[in-house]
Amino acid sequence: MNGFVNLIKPCGATASDMVVCLKHIYSVKKVGHMGTLDPGAVGVLPVAVGKATCLFDYLTDKRKVYRAWFTFGKTTDTLDSYGKVTETSDVPDFNDVKLAVKNFVGQIQQIPPLYSAVNINGRRAYDLARRGQPVQLKSRTVNVYSIDIVRTEGNDTFVFDIECGGGTYIRSLCRDIASSLGCVAYMSALIRMSSGPFDISSAVTIDEVRVDPLKYLLPLDVALTGVDDYVFDGTLYKKLCDGFRPECSFDGYKKIYCNGVLFGLGRCSDGRLNLDYYLKDANN
């Protein structure tokens, strides 16, 4: 049982909760989500089932699109609506916010929230924070491709559409935008609209999957939409099965096929094929 589920994570559940559910539904041990969502967030949660998990590293860094609600004038210890209010401030003007967000588009430095799943010496940051233990989080480089103000709600909440790379914390973005304006804010709601090739328009609920698991188990190549094919001659089939690295010449990653079988995701290295993500056995 191998493939992907384009799941909608509901509010209140963790991404890990969804993984546990799918393990039971598909009766497989290897299941993993492609980029966590906070319990209070909803939306697209791509989940790999079986040998599709070998694409984890390739997919977690793909572009993601969010609709986010930032409420200005107060903040919380968790930087979302589930935490305790720790500070208040004035609410900035619309035009000031519009100008400020421009400074957060591009490659930026960002410190993850104190309450996050970042691993610190084998412990999650949120576990340490809940126990009142000191947490030292390092700044990281993230990519933000666009931030657009969709509308305002009331006099303190701004709704944004944000496109960013993997590893970007929207709560941190909210905190830092507010800080640049000399005020505070928290993320009051979040919807992930897409993650790589997985879009909310075709996402399904866990209840739908329970009713018809096979219907919603997507094939491996769905996750590789936009990656070009590279086909090797059928005479190389057995050699490829045995790990042979034939000569090739192409740039970037390609979907490697031979005799109609998807062998995996590969690239050229020193003029020969490197199958960085081997998928042949996952086609069964």
CA 145, CA 130: separation in Å to the nearest integer? 33
Reference 134, options 151, 147, 121, 144; nearest CA is: 121
CA 279, CA 265: separation in Å to the nearest integer? 8
Phi, psi angles (nearest 5°) of residue 13: -85, 150
Q: Which residues contact 275 (CB under 8 A, 6 or more apart)?
A: 256, 263, 264, 265, 266
* H/E segment holding residue 182: none
Reference 26, options 254, 256, 212, 261; nearest CA is: 212
Give yes or no for a contact between 161 and 150, defined as CB atoms under 8 angstroms apart.
Answer: yes
Catalytic residue check, 38: yes
CA 130, CA 114: separation in Å to the nearest integer? 10
Give yes or no for a contact between 239 and 214, defined as CB atoms under 8 angstroms apart.
Answer: no
Positions of E strands within 227-270:
229-232, 254-258, 261-269
Catalytic residue among 17, 38, 212, 228: 38
Query: How many CA atoms are closer than 13 Å to the CA of 62, on its beta-carbon side?
Result: 23
Angle at alpha carbon of residue 67, lines to 56 and 39, rounded to 5°: 60
Residues belonging to the active site: 38
